[in-house]
Structure 1
Amino acid sequence: MTLIEIGMIGLDTSHCTAFARLLNDPADEFHVPGGRVTVAYPGGSTDFELSRSRVAGITAELKEHYGVRIVSSPEAVAEQSDAILLTAVDGRLHPELFRRIAPYKKPVFIDKPFAVSFRDAREMVRIAERHGIPLMSASALRYAEPLAEALESVKEPYGCDCFGPMALEPTQPGLFWYGIHGVEMMYAALGAGCVRVRVVSHPRQDVVVGEWEDGRIGTYRGNREGNSAFGALIHGKMGSVFADVTRSRKPYYAALLEQVMAMFRSGTPPLNVGETLEIIRFIEAANESRTTGKAVELDLTRREGG
C-alpha cells in the first residue's frame, strides 16, 4: 500500500500532535496506518490567545519529533501533499484557507468547527463541489467507540440526551467552540432533519433542545461547572442505552482518523456534507436562541437557495 503523504495547515491545537503521533508512530498502540504527516504550515490567529500561544511549541514538536517539513504557505502544503488536514483551531479562518488550497484538488479534512456561519459553510461546500474535492469535517466525539457501540444496539433511536463541557470562547461564538462536540454526538444518533432548536441559557450551563421533522427530539446539556465528562443516553423502542464516552479506551482522535484515512484512500467521505451544513446551521440557530430564549427555525431549504 502506497503511503499517503499528508499535509497539515494550522499548528495551533493539541489535535496536531495527536494526529501526528497516531499517523507517524507505528509503535503507538492505536497507530492509524496508511499515511504520514510530512509537511505543515504553522498559521495562527493573533487575536486568539489559545491559537497564538501554541503555534511555536507545536511547530517545534512536529519538526523535531516527527520530521515534518515546515513551509511558509497553505499553498506549499497543498503542492507537497496527497491529502490535507486543515487543523487551524480558529473556525473564522477556515473559509479563506480552504479557498487557497481548493485549486489543488486534494482531499481535505477540516477540523471542528467547519465554519462559524452557515453562509461560510455553504460557500465552502460549493467550492468543494466545483473542484471535485472529497471533503469531511467532524468532531472526534462523533466516532467515539462507546457511542458507536450504543448506536449499534439501538437501531432506530427516537431521541437522545447528550452532555459535555461547554466552555465559551469569544472568537468562536456560543456552541461553535465546545458545544459542537455534544451537537455532533446528537447528530450521530439522529442524523439530519432537525427543524427547530431552543436553548435555555445560564452562566453555569446551557440546555439545547432540537426537534426533528418526524418527532424525534435530541438534547444537549453543556456545563461550565468543571465537569469534563462526555456522554449520551440513546432512546429506542426496546430500551435506552448509555454511552459513557469519556471512558473510551481508544482515543477519540484514533477513531476519527480511521474515518479520515478511509476517505483519503477512497475519495468518498464517510459523512454526507449536507449533514455537516445542517450542524453549522443548528449551532447558528442555537446561538440565536441563547440570546433570545425563543425557538429558532433552521429553515434550511430557503437558506441553501440563497
Structure 2
Amino acid sequence: MTRIGVVGTENSHVDHFVRFLNVEHRHGTARVVALAGGDSERNRVLAKTGGIETIVVSAADLGGLADAVIISSRDGRTHRVDAVPLLEAGIPVLVDKPLAASVADAEAILAAARRGGVPLVSASALRFVPETAALATAAERIGPLTAVHVTGPADPASPYAGLYFYGVHHVEAALQITGARTDASSPVHVQRTGAAVVATTRFGEVHVVLTFVPPSGPDVVPFHATVVGTRGVEAHPLTLGPDYNAPVLDRFLRAVETGTPPADDGALLAPIAVLDAITAELDR
C-alpha cells in the first residue's frame, strides 16, 4: 500500500484527493493515511469521510508515516518550509498549485528534490481540461499561433500570496497551449484596468495576454482562453469539472511508482518566474 500524508487540509482540493483514494479507491491500495494540521474540526470531518486514523500537528510529523505527501496549502509562501525537509528525507511530494510564491522558494524546493533523489510534481489542473488540449492543437486548424489570451479569476490582494494563488492557472494554461516550457525571459508589461490586472508578454514567438479579474461578491469571471492563428481564431471556456484534480493526482502516483517526475525543473519553474515578473511590475 502506498501511504499518503496530506498537508494543508483547509484546501477543498483535499476533499477530492480523499474521495479519489479512500472512498472511490481509484488507485488500488494507495490511501491517505495521515492528515497534518492538528485536531481541527476540518480534519475530523476528513478523517471520518476517508477512514483516516492519524492526525498530526505538522508536515514534519509525517516522516515514517507516509510514503508520499501531498502539500495542498493555499498559501504558496508556506510550501518551501513544508516541502524541503520531506524531499530531502526521500519522500516524493505533490505540491498543489502554485509550486511556490517566488522563484527563490521554487528553486529551493527543486534543489531539495534533487538532493533527496525523489520526484516532485506540481501543476495547475487547467493544463489537463479538454478545452486546453483542444486549444493546444489549434495550430493544426488555424495556422501557427500568433496570440493567446487567458482570462479568469485572480486577486492581487488575496491573502494567499496574491496572484500566485489563482493566477498560476492563467500562466500554466497559456504555457500548455503554446507548448512553451522554460521561456520566461521576455519582458512583461502590466497595467490595471479597473479592478483587473492585465499582463502582456511573449512565450516564444506567441504574444500572450493574461487578464486577472478579482471576484466581486458571488460573481466570478470564468476561466476562458482565446487563440489567434494565421488563418483563424478559436476560443473556449476552460471548464473545471467535478473530477478536475484527478489528472494531477494520476501524474503524481505514476511518478511515485516510477521514480520519474513528469516535468523537468525548467517546466516547473517557468510559471513561477512569470508570476514573479508580473508581481514585480505591480509593486513598482
| TM surpasses 0.5 | yes
Which has the larger displacement, 17-26 or 230-239? 230-239
| Partner SS state of residue 188, structure 2 | strand
Contact 1:165 1:178 in 2 (8 A): yes
1:61: how far off? 1.7
- One-letter amino acid matched to 1:13: N
Which has the larger displacement, 69-78 or 166-175? 166-175
Residue 141 of structure 1 is matched in structure 2 by 126
CA distance in structure 2 between the aligned counterparts of 1:220 and 1:265, rounded to whole angstroms = 36
Matched, 1:240 2:233: yes
1:203: how far off? 4.5
Matched, 1:228 2:221: yes
CA distance in structure 1 between the aligned counterparts of 2:259 and 2:135, rounded to whole angstroms = 28
Task: Give the TM-score normalised by the residue count of structure 2.
Answer: 0.87
Residue 206 of structure 1 is matched in structure 2 by 197
- One-letter amino acid matched to 2:212: G
Task: Give the TM-score normalised by the residue count of structure 1.
Answer: 0.81
- Structure 1 72/146 Cα, relative in aligned 2: closer, same or farther at 3 Å? same
Residue 59 of structure 2 is matched in structure 1 by 74
User: 1:268 pairs with 249, 252, 260, which one?
Assistant: 260
Contact 1:168 1:177 in 2 (8 A): no
| Partner SS state of residue 177, structure 1 | helix
Matched, 1:60 2:44: yes
| Partner SS state of residue 150, structure 1 | helix
User: 2:76 pairs with 61, 79, 91, which one?
Assistant: 91
User: 1:10 pairs with 8, 15, 21, which one?
Assistant: 8
- Structure 1 8/249 Cα, relative in aligned 2: closer, same or farther at 3 Å? closer
CA distance in structure 2 between the aligned counterparts of 1:172 and 1:72, rounded to whole angstroms = 21
Contact 2:153 2:222 in 1 (8 A): yes
CA deviations on 1:121-147 (whole Å, 9 max, x unpaired) are 112211211221211111212222221
1:20: how far off? 0.9
Residue 113 of structure 1 is matched in structure 2 by 98
User: 1:178 pairs with 154, 166, 171, which one?
Assistant: 166
Contact 1:16 1:58 in 2 (8 A): no
1:33: how far off? 5.2
Contact 1:17 1:58 in 2 (8 A): no
Contact 1:134 1:263 in 2 (8 A): yes
CA distance in structure 2 between the aligned counterparts of 1:33 and 1:168, rounded to whole angstroms = 40
Residue 24 of structure 2 is matched in structure 1 by 26
| Partner SS state of residue 222, structure 2 | coil
- One-letter amino acid matched to 1:66: G
| Partner SS state of residue 179, structure 1 | helix
CA distance in structure 2 between the aligned counterparts of 1:137 and 1:215, rounded to whole angstroms = 26
CA distance in structure 2 between the aligned counterparts of 1:262 and 1:60, rounded to whole angstroms = 29
CA distance in structure 1 between the aligned counterparts of 2:254 and 2:236, rounded to whole angstroms = 25
Gaps of 5+ in 1: 44-54, 293-306
1:243: how far off? 2.8
Residue 51 of structure 1 is matched in structure 2 by none
Contact 2:255 2:262 in 1 (8 A): yes
CA distance in structure 1 between the aligned counterparts of 2:194 and 2:89, rounded to whole angstroms = 44
CA deviations on 1:272-296 (whole Å, 9 max, x unpaired) are 221221211211110121233xxxx
- One-letter amino acid matched to 2:206: R
- Structure 1 157/77 Cα, relative in aligned 2: closer, same or farther at 3 Å? farther
Percent identity of paired positions between Structure 1 and Structure 2: 26
Contact 1:168 1:178 in 2 (8 A): no
Contact 1:176 1:283 in 2 (8 A): yes
- One-letter amino acid matched to 2:173: M
1:210: how far off? 1.6
| Partner SS state of residue 160, structure 1 | strand
CA distance in structure 1 between the aligned counterparts of 2:67 and 2:171, rounded to whole angstroms = 31
Matched length: 274
CA distance in structure 1 between the aligned counterparts of 2:192 and 2:29, rounded to whole angstroms = 44
Contact 2:135 2:177 in 1 (8 A): no
| Partner SS state of residue 234, structure 1 | strand
Contact 2:75 2:160 in 1 (8 A): yes
- Structure 1 250/17 Cα, relative in aligned 2: closer, same or farther at 3 Å? closer
Which has the larger displacement, 81-90 or 266-275? 266-275
